Structure 1
């Protein structure tokens, strides 16, 4: 068993088997730089870039992960392998005590930033349980899934400019809503603010040129790593505006991601079978390679001044459509994707009621109370509520964590 010279507490989200990437700064050095999470520390890769092969040094000296993402699968393996070597007992880094002390920085001293410059952001709708639940609420059991749902990974283009890192507050939006069907709309603060439990991935590799496509069988080369996501949603605004072109201002108020990007290599020990798909998908969407993961997901809600309550426990493995199929469908028209693009799963819900990935489902469109610690209840989010998403894989004593994806709801600013 490999052992690091860095102290890694038992049960840490960031053991030697993980090595997630992030971008950080410190008060003493405000320059943004690339780091790797290890135990309770961040390893400053810019500070030891000279210990890596020349072809990756510029990427490690960058202020975002985009350049590293662009280098492709072979370079990612080189960086990961070398990072692990440098963190092992007896490594050249351990032997250079002054250097080690300068580049191993306590996470408590770091400010974490968005890991990449996000050029484009696409959100999918890939959980069959979530899609079925929403369909039943609004169309009934007989028409729960739309006719296209089992044929294509449904998605929409989101707003990259409002993707924010964990810890950034989210302001309650204003907008038009239709409180009473058949009556004119009204304007005011959103009353049905919701979260969506999601996992997203960053596109890597060279991507594809406009007019070209990436088949599902080859798309694994274009997945750099995964991060947690909360796609904040204004349900009452969404209901009024989504016809006929889909989500718009109900979804652009903010999208929170965790600051850490867990590489695919760290997740491979937790591969599970892809979700069984019926009918058979079109050839461009087929891939033999398993690309589904046993990632435990948990959502907590903490009212202002109150205790944190777990309101949902779900799992990434419930997704019907894989990340590879999402890339394949996204590019089948010849749409070009680029390193740093963000693609999200859509709300992840399981079959059980306590595994639903949104308050819309947990409260079943507001007809049920969600019970919290201390006797409080919710149907949708209130001002002052903090929503925290966590995720981890665990097997044979190894835990791979994603860090927190958290945000607090602030009151709307009056118009």
Structure 2
């Protein structure tokens, strides 16, 4: 790992090889939000430092949002990251940069960008297979289209919330298989979905497409994501148009956005796609990449799952290409998520639906209590790490939420 003038241990998850972005306020100025870069246990006020240094892009990073930077495009993304790495490794820059550092334990983090639109995919073959086996035990686990296109649905951008926001248990219609009629009330099968989100920049026009080879110009960064799901509401409503109220009540995103450039050492080949996708989903060699991310899911502090993102069937580049192939426009601040990340073994399943096999095999927590689905007061935290350069590791910002009773 590159030497840095902040005194950081070599294995710190927020070293100069990482440098994630976030939006923060301080106790001294709680109403002023600043765009920051995390370095170790501090956050750099990027706008203040860039203005003091006289950079040509200082105005782009001087507000309290990632939005202008997302709109600026990849060349500016690379320039900002290169300047920050230089400023945080060159001892000659210390005197100019250090006054703009704030301890992370003295800041409040906010939603880092305005979510323009939100799409959730279904990109894990293992998750899709498990769900198919649960709900279609006598039929094919995967639907006929699954290996031909990245399946997804449009969610509700206004209910994407930053990590740490409480989640109110949703209320709606539900009908069990043996119920004579639907009933109305709080969800009794509230679930998690351990996912990876992708933040998009570089707006496009309606009628244009973004190919697999061009996707990297629009993929700004990565953030851990939890697509909370009311399985009982979802089961009653999803035919024939898919998820709606069972998903739209809340989705949580990490406060720190890891630049895609920071994950260059984490890129891996896809596990293999058979049949070969159509031409628009193929791209040139290496453009449809996977990511070697190791996720961990904790429920009230108990480690309940270790989902491996490297096993995902569809690449983020393919998801973005499919999202736009019909001419749908991209907006700065678009967000799409991978869908639940699940691996091959039971300990790597990324939802309670799978971990408890739809509630028939409850899991036991460290305090001796059991769970089939989430109870009020439960806290779910998703964390992850990835390979960095020269054998180092980086740690993605965690995403966490606590369930509150229905209103």
Q: TM-score, normalised by structure 2?
A: 0.96
C-alpha contact 2:132 2:140 (8 A) present in aligned 1? yes
SS of 1:321's equivalent in the other structure is coil
Kindly indicate whether residue 342 of structure 2 is the aligned counterpart of residue 346 of structure 1: no
What residue number does 1:403 align with?
Answer: 397
Question: Structure 2: which 5+ residue stretches go unaligned?
Answer: none
What residue number does 2:79 align with?
Answer: 78
C-alpha contact 2:168 2:405 (8 A) present in aligned 1? yes
Choose 312-321 or 347-356, whichever is displaced more: 312-321
What residue number does 1:294 align with?
Answer: 292
Q: How far apart are residue 53 of structure 1 and its match?
A: 6.3
Question: Structure 1: which 5+ residue stretches go unaligned?
Answer: 303-307
Kindly indicate whether residue 301 of structure 2 is the aligned counterpart of residue 312 of structure 1: no
C-alpha contact 1:166 1:406 (8 A) present in aligned 2? yes
Kindly indicate whether residue 146 of structure 2 is the aligned counterpart of residue 145 of structure 1: no
Kindly indicate whether residue 269 of structure 2 is the aligned counterpart of residue 273 of structure 1: yes
Alignment partners' CA distance in 1, 2:111 and 2:393 = 24
Call closer, same or farther: CA 1:182–1:191 in 2, change over 3 Å.
closer
Q: How far apart are residue 180 of structure 1 and its match?
A: 3.6
Q: Aligned match of 1:100 in 84, 92, 98?
A: 98
C-alpha contact 2:209 2:324 (8 A) present in aligned 1? yes
SS of 1:365's equivalent in the other structure is coil
What residue number does 2:165 align with?
Answer: 168
C-alpha contact 2:385 2:393 (8 A) present in aligned 1? yes
Superposition pairs of residues 103-142 of structure 1, within 5 angstroms = 103-140=100-137, 142=139
SS of 1:354's equivalent in the other structure is helix
What residue number does 1:217 align with?
Answer: 213
Kindly indicate whether residue 393 of structure 2 is the aligned counterpart of residue 393 of structure 1: no
Alignment partners' CA distance in 1, 2:132 and 2:395 = 32
Call closer, same or farther: CA 1:371–1:10 in 2, change over 3 Å.
farther
Kindly indicate whether residue 62 of structure 2 is the aligned counterpart of residue 61 of structure 1: yes
Q: How far apart are residue 339 of structure 1 and its match?
A: 1.3
SS of 1:123's equivalent in the other structure is strand
Alignment partners' CA distance in 2, 1:315 and 1:9 = 26
Q: Aligned match of 1:328 in 321, 343, 348?
A: 321
Q: How far apart are residue 11 of structure 1 and its match?
A: 3.4
CA offsets 1:296-354 (integer angstroms, 9 cap, x no match): 1000000xxxxx10000011111111111111111111000111100000001001000
Alignment partners' CA distance in 2, 1:278 and 1:51 = 53
C-alpha contact 2:51 2:59 (8 A) present in aligned 1? no
Q: Aligned match of 2:375 in 374, 379, 382?
A: 382
Alignment partners' CA distance in 2, 1:317 and 1:55 = 38
Alignment partners' CA distance in 2, 1:53 and 1:317 = 41
Q: TM-score, normalised by structure 1?
A: 0.94
CA offsets 1:237-280 (integer angstroms, 9 cap, x no match): 00001111111110011100110110111100111112311111
C-alpha contact 1:175 1:187 (8 A) present in aligned 2? yes
Q: How far apart are residue 52 of structure 1 and its match?
A: 5.5
C-alpha contact 1:295 1:391 (8 A) present in aligned 2? yes
Alignment partners' CA distance in 1, 2:215 and 2:231 = 33
Alignment partners' CA distance in 2, 1:55 and 1:199 = 32
CA offsets 1:150-173 (integer angstroms, 9 cap, x no match): 111000000011100010000011
SS of 2:116's equivalent in the other structure is coil
Q: How far apart are residue 182 of structure 1 and its match?
A: 6.0
C-alpha contact 1:179 1:186 (8 A) present in aligned 2? no
Alignment partners' CA distance in 1, 2:406 and 2:92 = 53
